[in-house]
Amino acid sequence: MSAHIQPVPFTKPEPPISPEKEIVESPFRDFVRAFLRHRSAVIGSVIVLSFLLIAILAPFITSYEYTARSQALLQAPSVDHWFGTDEMGRDLFTRVIYGTRISLWVGLFAISGSIIVGSLLGLIAGFYGGWRDTMISRIFDILLAFPSILLAIAIVAMLGRSLSNALLAIAIINIPTFGRLMRSRVLSVKSEDYILAARAMGMKNRRILFHHILPNCWTPIMVQGTLGFATAVIEAAALGFLGLGAQPPEPEWGTMLADARQYIQLAPWTMIFPGVAVALTVLGFNLLGDGLRDIFDPRMKQ
């Protein structure tokens, strides 16, 4: 008597995953999809990209030189001078446009320097601990004990009035922000199981630092860097307003605001347009930074 054989149910094999599906489900595509759904991030990026294009295409946007003078002193906005002219007859639209280059340049290099130095110090303090952590943390505490703008004024006063010294001062006062953020992130990451497993395998500290810990600490630094860019623009404008930043005839927004103070009733446009430029730039970077923070925050994901 033959044994009864149960029929094996036929299952349709799953189709192989196409390259298109892999791309759609990639982390980059997920980020782009989340970014486009975030209204604040999109608005902020449009503002930032607009100012970036203005800075790059400044010579093609206006036909005037930002140092060129005319007989039309304090002329109101017109067809020939869209933003009017200042007390020296210079085209205000041209100076605002070229001022975009200075503000973005200061923000980029100042925040880049702060991120590099602050992240390196925070990485060392958080990973090694001990006397290194104590010494670096005390340096951060000393820098944070002073109001940032007063510390920047003191640094520029010692080094001399110039745009480069203002850039250096802005970079120094922002180092503790990125250093403490990196330190706290490293303290959290180095206790993870994969870091303990890497130590158990005999992996060297340098490899653990730069191959495992650092890549997992960049997200908050990138978000803070975007927000810090807006802060750097304000600080550069504040130093320029006090006469400690860019020196005439450089078209820096803070310097333009300082020159327009005495004409605020006679020619209010000389102060309105540089002020609006500062406000829009800061708004764009703040919206972009807030959007990136919400996108990268796992608590915001459903």
Whole domain around residue 144: which residue ranges?
30-67+80-300
Residue 38 CB partners (closer than 8 Å, separation 6+): 291, 294, 295
Number of domains in the chain: 1
Are 80 and 94 spatial neighbours (Cβ–Cβ below 8 Å)? no
CATH of the domain at 244: 1.10.3720.10
pLDDT at 21: 47
Residue 250 lies in a domain: yes
**Residue 22 resides in a domain:** no
Does residue 23 belong to any structural domain of this protein?
A: no
- Mean pLDDT of all residues in the chain? 86
**Cα four-point dihedral sign 47, 53, 58, 61:** negative
Residue 52 dihedral angles phi and psi, to the nearest 5°: -65, -45
Q: Is the dihedral of CA 300, 126, 173, 111 positive or negative?
A: negative
Residue 110 included in any domain: yes
Q: Is the pLDDT at 2 greater than 60, yes or no?
A: no
**Within a domain: residue 259?**
yes
Q: Which of 131, 240, 231, 233 is nearest to 178 (CA)?
A: 231
Helix (H) or strand (E) holding 180: helix 163-189
Residue 20 included in any domain: no
E strands within the chain? none
Asked if residue 19 belongs to a domain, the reply is no
pLDDT tens-digit readout, 27-51: 778 888 888 888 999 999 999 999 9
On whether residue 17 sits in a domain, the answer given is no
What distances in angstroms separate CA 177 from CA 115, 162, 172, 228, one per listed residue? 9, 24, 10, 9
Q: What is the pLDDT of residues 154-173, one digit of tens each?
A: 999 999 888 899 999 999 99
Average pLDDT for residues 16-35, to the nearest whole number?
A: 66
Token pair 């490293």 is at which residue? Answer: 186
